[in-house]
Amino acid sequence: MIKKTNLPEGWARSVLGDNFDVQLGKMLSEKAKAGLQLPYLANFNVRWGYFDFKKLNTMAFSDQEKKKYKLLKDDLLICEGGEIGRCAVWKNLDFEIYYQKALHRVRPKNDKAITKFLCFYIQLIASQGKLSRLVGETSIPHLTRETLIKLPILLPPLSEQRAIADLLSTWDDAIEKTGRLIEKKEERFRGLLNELIKKPSKNEDWKKFKLGAISKIEKGKQLNIEHMKDDGKYYALNGGVEPSGRTDDWNTEAGTITISEGGNSCGYVNYNLERFWAGGHCYTLLKINNITSSYYLYFYLKLNEPRLMSLRVGSGLPNIQKKDVYKFEIQLPSFNEQHKITEVLFSAQQEIDLLKQLLSKYQTQKRGLMQKLLTGEWRIK
């Protein structure tokens, strides 16, 4: 952030509570389940800069509570738990709504600061880990009101706050629209999977096989920490959903299907488009026979991922045993039909992947702009 020696001209240091009123929402109770049910926003409704309305819960509010917990235009909501710092500004949509205890409502006390600017400022320091350090290392971290009102903030002149907020809002709009488009494409993709694979698989012409009969199932090799490096050429997949790091070595060719062997994500299916290191908690499907399309097999396993995950055993560190993966039953149409199905699904998957790349670029651009604009390195007149 900005050192005291080079504070931008016209900017001032303050603490959040000097310029904003902070209040936690209503606590959900058994009493709130009786009476007229009104919609309220919960932690999961607040995203990074926007609101998700796919699911809205309700509870009863007294007349006094309605006045206290009703959201007004430009109120800022900040999550007090979960992803610390996730926040969004209420834009006064065409319905009344309230908020519950998992959220801090922040409202200006004076004309020195606006919540739209503060929203981006909170996101910036959250991305830098500053909020997490203030909260401390606890099993269930919470951003208390006391911590929030003492939070140091930098405030440019009001006109500059508005200009910065307006510019960054352009990226928020693009991020929100792209995210919603991805959700629609993914919903369509799930429909295609169901239509092209799940329903036709009931056809008697489709042949049943054990997964181990059409591919060689191998467990990866553990990669020690000394072989991991930030700028490694290949990613290391040690189970899980995302790579666990990078390395200069690889042990598995591109085009390989993997199934997570252990941990909370055991059963997760991935198709690896490049060479990688398969770790000790990762099953690889090798030497797939010539009557099976690897892409079709991936899509079939992805559709049946819940079945794979149900194979897990153990409670402390769950895992899937190799013998159960071997016996996992799949159904195959003719190779020609597999190819036709794969073409449709692969095209739909590519659309989603391209949109995710675009979303990632918008998010990276926004982070870079926030760093420049919210520290005064770049000024807007």
- The domain locations on the chain are 4-155, 207-332
Structure tokens at 99: 């908020």
Find the length of the chain. 381
- 22-36, 67-81, 330-344, range with the lowest pLDDT: 22-36
Q: What is the mean pLDDT of residues 153-176?
A: 96
69-112 pLDDT, tens per residue? 999 999 999 999 888 889 999 998 888 999 999 999 999 999 99
Fold of 207-332: Adenine-n6-DNA-methyltransferase TaqI; Chain A, domain 2 (3.90.220)
Model confidence at 1, in pLDDT bands (50, 70, 90)?
very low
Q: Is the per-residue pLDDT at 139 higher than 70?
A: no
pLDDT at 124 over 70: yes
Distance in angstroms (rounded) separating the CA atoms of residues 74 and 90: 5
**Span 186-202, pLDDT tens digits:** 999 999 999 999 888 77
| pLDDT value for 225 | 78
Q: What is the predicted pLDDT for the residue at 209?
A: 95
* Collapsed DSSP state (helix, strand, coil) of residue 205: coil
Expressed in angstroms, the distance from the first to the final Cα of the chain is 21
Mean pLDDT of the chain: 92
pTM summary value: 0.82
- pLDDT classification of 138: cutoffs 50, 70, 90: low
Element (H, E) at 286: strand 282-286
As a CATH number, domain 4-155 is 3.90.220.20
